[in-house]
């Protein structure tokens, strides 16, 4: 197994640990969560660049890398649902956003399977998909940073907390919109492989 694939597997192993640090309360657990998430996100950037630079792209990696990304971001959203359990309005928003994110990911994964089984070439991620990923990472890191300050370091001023919550929701909704747009573009680009008569 080459190094990029090892990094991808390491990201998958880190994901449940990251989610556990979000959910379970212990000293500085949001700080630990943030560090783990940033480290896992960096492996995503590093393994891709390494695979392209040294011609280490494999079918195994093509399958595993997007799966690891989906695991990481989904675990973060699920962790935020738990985190905001005492704030029903925000919890509901994040639940809806998570639904759209999962809907998009399941749809794209299903289309990829159909395209491959039809003998077609897998459609590369478009700029909207890349923007979606960046926006998700930025929103999650900001939310973890904000709650590291609020919960771990006690900066619990009401105005500060409310402002952070508004920004977090705005960033998450922005990523949800990008999810929908990138998913719709991917669906349109694959329309020739989706035949309801078959």
User: Domain of 63: which CATH number?
Assistant: 1.20.120.1760
The residues near 192 (Cβ < 8 Å, ≥ 6 apart) are none
What are 130-178's pLDDT values in tens digits? 888 889 999 999 999 999 999 999 998 999 999 999 999 999 999 999 9
Domain residues for the domain of 143 are 3-193
Residue 147 burial by CB count (10 A; 0-12/13-18/19+): exposed, middle or buried? Answer: buried
Domain count, the chain: 1
How many residues appear in the chain?
198
Task: Scan for tokens 């907390």, then name that residue.
Answer: 161
> What whole-number distance in Å separates Cα of residue 9 and Cα of residue 15?
10
What are 114-140's pLDDT values in tens digits? 777 776 666 666 788 788 888 999 999
Average pLDDT on 103-122 reads: 78
Q: Is residue 90 part of a domain?
A: yes
Q: Is residue 198 part of a domain?
A: no
Q: The dihedral of CA 53, 139, 143, 71: what is its sign?
A: negative
Q: What average pLDDT is seen over the chain?
A: 89
């Amino acid at each position: 197994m080459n190094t990029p694939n090892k990094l991808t597997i390491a990201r998958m192993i880190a994901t449940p640990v990251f989610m556990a640090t979000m959910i379970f309360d212990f000293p500085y657990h949001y700080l630990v969560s943030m560090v783990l998430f940033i480290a896992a996100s960096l492996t995503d950037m590093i393994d891709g660049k390494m695979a392209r630079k040294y011609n280490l792209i494999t079918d195994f990696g093509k399958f595993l890398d997007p799966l690891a990304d989906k695991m990481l971001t989904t675990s973060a959203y699920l962790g935020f649902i738990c985190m905001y359990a005492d704030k029903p309005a925000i919890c509901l928003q994040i639940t809806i956003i998570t639904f759209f994110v999962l809907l998009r990911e399941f749809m794209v994964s299903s289309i990829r399977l159909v395209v491959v089984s039809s003998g077609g070439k897998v459609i590369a991620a478009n700029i909207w998909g890349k923007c979606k990923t960046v926006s998700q990472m930025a929103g999650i890191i900001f939310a973890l940073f904000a709650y590291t300050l609020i919960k771990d370091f006690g900066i619990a001023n009401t105005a500060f907390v409310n402002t952070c919550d508004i920004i977090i929701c705005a960033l998450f909704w922005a990523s949800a919109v990008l999810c929908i747009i990138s998913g719709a573009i991917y669906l349109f680009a694959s329309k020739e492989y989706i035949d309801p008569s078959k």
